[in-house]
Copies of this chain bind each other. A is one copy, B any other.
Amino acid sequence: MARKSRRELAQLDGTTELPLTVREVALAAGVSPITVSRALHRPSLVSAATREHVLAVVKELGYVPNLLAGSLASSKSRLVAILLPTIANSIYATVVQAIMDRLTEAGYQALIGPTGYSPEKEEELLEAILGRRPDGIVLTGTLHTPASRARLAALNIPVVEAWDLSAEALDMQVGFSHEQVGVALAEHFVARGYRRFGVISVDDPRAMRRNLALQARLVALGIPELPMEVLPLPATWEVGRIGLARLLERPEPPELVLCSSDTLALGVVAEASSRGLRIPAQLAVVGFGDTTNGRFATPALSTVSVNADAMGQRVAQALLDRLAGEQTAVSLDTGFALIERQSS
């Protein structure tokens, strides 16, 4: 007697309810399996009558196609991997949210991998995720291990590096120059008459690029001193409070504090508030990120707006365009805007 298939074995078991397959749906609908498949995924290839009938049966039976099998057969997974430092940071979360919204709309799903700002962890996650054969990959930043770069180069699937621009794109890049942010901040606020700057930052590679560019530019503009508090991740509101406390302990307290994120800036405002410091009269505060699309800046706060939402949409679009077979630009500068507080 023939060996029993696993499905048959499971049936005998009785307790376990097995998911339906195309075959069973086809049987119920009186068509072949492929017709069911087509009715679901390529409706134009099926006559209206059969299509409707098949779809009715599908609905009635509650059939959910097995995408693992489908992906295997078609070598299209409709899966996009997104690797980012952490989701628990609004600046990244906003971009991911935008990417996912756009992808979901287009019928893709997102596999998220949190790298914790570490290229090694990124490499590890990449290995694990590539096994799912994603149709596209989104990475954060331009810093990747040689192994990661090699893998991706050999792979021939669309890759977007978000958040940053560099000379050596893996494939596509969507972001802006963090150096330019630093330079712009320096020039703008020096022109406004500020001389005593202070920085409160977490130890994120991109934030540090901004900080160093700022510092260099300030030196060039005749301001040699830049007190900088670099605190460990994660970037919470608390970091801003501590940072300000430390800056104020220094001999020359700053007139202007530049923060590596809006979250930190809010902490600074809270701390300043509990110390009775008026903002911006006694202390100007500048954030970074502006995930609320221009609504972050207020009479009390300035910020650098990176329009995370737009960046996310463009990342998704770049991927989708490429998946649709279009040629797409290698590098897309989404820019940033310095949104200044109203004068008080």
Contact = CB atoms under 8 A, between A and B. Distances in A.
Given A16-B156, A97-B114, A236-B292, A299 B279 contact: no
A335 to B, nearest CB: 21
Contact of A266 (B70, B109, B270): B270
Contacts of A269: 266, 269-270, 273
Given A66-B72, A269-B270, A292-B236, A132 B154 contact: no
A93 B88 contact: yes
B96 A238 contact: no
A313 interface: no
Contacts of A89: 93
A65 interface: yes
Given A88-B90, A111-B111, A238-B296, A68 B72 contact: yes
Nearest to A19: B133
Nearest to A299: B274
How many copies of this kind of chain does the complex include?
2
A96 B279 CA distance: 35
Interface in A83-121: 86-90, 93-94, 96-97, 100-101, 104, 109-114
Interface stretch (A122-130, A160-168, A193-201, A314-322): A122-130
A14 interface: no
B97 A88 contact: yes
A274 B298 contact: yes
Nearest to A234: B292
Given A72-B69, A132-B109, A274 B292 contact: no
A25 interface: no
A19 to B, nearest CB: 8
A295 B238 contact: yes
A242 to B, nearest CB: 10
A96 B89 CA distance: 12
A110 B68 CA distance: 15
18 contacts: A67-B133, A68-B72, A69-B72, A72-B72, A87-B87, A87-B93, A87-B96, A88-B90, A100-B114, A104-B114, A236-B295, A238-B296, A266-B270, A270-B300, A270-B301, A273-B278, A273-B279, A274-B298
Shortest beta-carbon contacts, A-B, top 8: A67-B131, A88-B97, A273-B273, A238-B295, A266-B266, A236-B292, A274-B300, A68-B72
